[in-house]
Copies of this chain bind each other. A is one copy, B any other.
Amino acid sequence: MSTSTTDTTQKHQATLDAAVEALHGRTFFAAFPENPSPEIYGADADKEGRASFKAHRDQRFTELQQGESAGWAGQEESPYEQASLGIEYPYYKPETLVQNAQEVFGQWRKLKPADRAALLTETLEGMKDRFFEIAYATMHTTGQAYMMSFQASGPHAADRALEAIAAGYEEQTRFPEETRWEKPMGKYNITLHKTWRAVPKGVALVIGCSTFPTWNTVPGMYASLVTGNPVIIKPHPKAVLPIAIVVAEVQKVLVAHGLDPRICQLAVDANDHLIAKELAENPAVKLIDYTGGSAFGEYIEGLKGKTVFTEKTGVNSIILDSCDDLDKVAQNLAFSVSLYSGQMCTAPQNFFIPEGGVKVAGELVPYEDVVQKLAAAVTSLAQNPKAGPHVLGAIQSATTQERVRDLALEGSRSVLAHGTVDNPVFQNARTCSTSIHEVESSRVEQFSQELFGPIMLVIKTRDTQESIRLAADLAREHGAISCGAYTTDSAVKEQIMDEMSLAGTPVSFNLTGGIYVNQNAGFSDFHVTGGNPAGNASFTNPEFVIKRFTWVGFREPIA
């Protein structure tokens, strides 16, 4: 027996309306609480989530309802244990997945946008019930610490998904489905009955990354789905479980409403070969969302006949000009570079500091003092047993750890060597504290690429003018996803806003306390809006959804 789509649509209308309103208010809005407290999620939620995660280990994942598989595959390892999770997922040939998607396209696209939006909102309830399970799955694939694993993969991701659903719903219902068009011709009128359809583009593909398996996947996934496109989710082979759970929940809701679960499919790589290219190049695939490195991202962007949304790499800057309290600034920045060991797309990398020092409450603090204060704050955080492991987490990939270890920047000065971060629970965790290198401002090639991981570069500039110029040039030419600036001078602030706006980079000013440049709030902060080479994912402005469908109109005279 299937659940009525009409009932589901009515059930979620208020949520959708509130989400659309939030998109335009851009004040704080969250449909899913980020606090994993028992008061909110239930006394046993955490324990049950952990147990559910453990139950997946060394088992086949059998929750998917997308037909018989061609085999089983799984390559996940826990960065906390440096050991395999032992989970296998059904493997399907790329052409099977695309053909499945084509078969169910008609069924999905013929639903009204409001019905699709409601069904998809319903799936987020299923996801919410598994936030803790997803959190542990995220920890043990990405290396994120527990709190980030819960928040980023759970409520924050679900809010970003709801944001995409709401934006897609709004854009598809912004123009009338039909109208009577009556043109006065003098002695008579010409009258036409006109109708319009928002026509989805076709099969959609979402290629996930290893560090944020749900947060970076669900926006494109839900944006494509709400606009009527069947979607194939191709997670990073090292971070499958968190999004596999979400896909299973989507399939459950589809089946409950009498729809084909293959409207949303999971596509895992085979153990011996990757399938992203084969999927992406299939002519039936019209939409691709991609998160990951720039080289593969540019290959995706270069494919003909596809609408592509990317979040690639960027070089994020901090501009230090002046502030009121340097200690607070240093603590805030130390947290930002250390959070998840610098493995966030929004983590700052390049710190531009004037050689003349930073004006603090009216007095100049010499350059070297600023550098040492930053280094001390970084060290203090990493070595604090109550904070360090919970902020830095673990390193997702051995490659990242090697990058930190092997980094050689000719002519640079090592300000702080990397170290390990003792983890109270996981003795074998792959950890790495932040290293700091001072590089010459003339050696742009050393700081013009993303050094993914816990690496902080300090660049001594002639003055703030040079800092701004370098930060803006880097963003424009190499991409940037975030920028932090500290200044008490309103003219400097306006200049930074103007120059970074032309480089398409959002700027956080004078952050201290419990808010960080890395953080990015659904329903308020636009994310990667396309103004520089870092990508055009555009969570979530109208562009993120309207490029997924086409308006087509029909007209006929009314007698």
Give chain B residues whose Cβ lies under 8 Å from the Cβ of A497.
Answer: 197, 554
Find chain B residues with CB under 8 A from A174 CB.
24, 542
Fill in one digit per residue for A546-559: 1 if any B CB lies within 8 Å of its CB, else 0: 11001111111100
Bound-state Cα–Cα, A515 to B194, Å = 13
Which residues in window 514-559 of A have CB below 8 A to B?
514-515, 521, 524-526, 529-531, 538, 541-543, 546-547, 550-557
- Indicate if the CB atoms of B556 and A509 lie closer than 8 Å: yes
Q: State how many copies of this chain the complex holds.
A: 2
Q: With A529-B551, A551-B529, A553-B526 in contact, is A26–B179 under 8 Å at CB? A: yes
For A305, the closest partner residue in chain B by CB is B533
Near B by CB (< 8 A), chain A positions 494-520 give 497, 500-502, 504-515
Q: Cβ of A424 < 8 Å from any Cβ of B?
A: no
User: Are A521 and B552 in contact, with the CB atoms below 8 A?
Assistant: no
Docked CA distance A185–B519 (Å) = 15
Chain B residues lying within 8 Å of A556, measured Cβ to Cβ, are 508-511
* A176 neighbours in B (Cβ, 8 Å): 24-26
**A190 contacts B by Cβ under 8 Å:** yes
Alpha-carbon gap, A196 to B27, bound state (A): 13
Once the chains bind, are A504 and B552 in contact (CB under 8 Å)? yes
Contact indicator B27/A181 (Cβ below 8 Å): yes
Bound Cα distance from A216 to B81, whole angstroms:
63
Q: Does A255 contact B (CB under 8 A)?
A: no
A526→B551 contact, CB < 8 A: yes
Residue interface bits A316-339, CB-to-B below 8 A is 1, else 0: 000000000000000000000000
Q: List, in ascending order, chain B residues with CB within 8 A of A510's CB.
A: 556-557
At the interface, yes or no: A171 with Cβ under 8 Å from chain B?
A: yes
Whether A58 is near chain B, meaning CB under 8 Å from some CB there, is no
Whether A199 sits at the interface, judged by CB under 8 Å, is: yes
- The answer, among B35, B531, B557, for a CB contact under 8 Å with A511, is B557
Tell me whether B550 and A530 are in contact (CB under 8 A). yes
B505 touches A552 (CB 8 A): yes
Chain B's closest residue to A110 (CB) is B498
Q: Which of B186, B513, B555 contacts A35 (CB 8 A)?
A: B186
> Do A194 and B513 form a contact, CB below 8 Å, given A26-B181, A175-B26, A552-B505?
no
Q: Are B502 and A25 in contact (CB under 8 A)?
A: no
Expressed in whole angstroms, the minimum distance between the Cβ of A144 and any Cβ of chain B is: 21
Contacts of A197 in B (CB 8 A): 497, 501
A196 proximity list for chain B (CB < 8 A)? 26, 526
* 5 interchain residue pairs of minimum CB distance: A531-B550, A509-B556, A501-B552, A506-B553, A28-B183
| A residues at B contact (CB < 8 Å) | 24-28, 35, 171, 174-176, 179-186, 190, 192, 194, 196-197, 199, 201, 497, 500-502, 504-515, 521, 524-526, 529-531, 538, 541-543, 546-547, 550-557
A-B contact pairs, 22 of them (CB 8 A): A24-B174, A24-B175, A24-B176, A25-B179, A27-B182, A35-B186, A181-B524, A185-B514, A190-B515, A194-B524, A199-B501, A497-B554, A501-B552, A504-B550, A509-B556, A511-B557, A525-B555, A526-B552, A530-B550, A531-B552, A543-B543, A543-B546
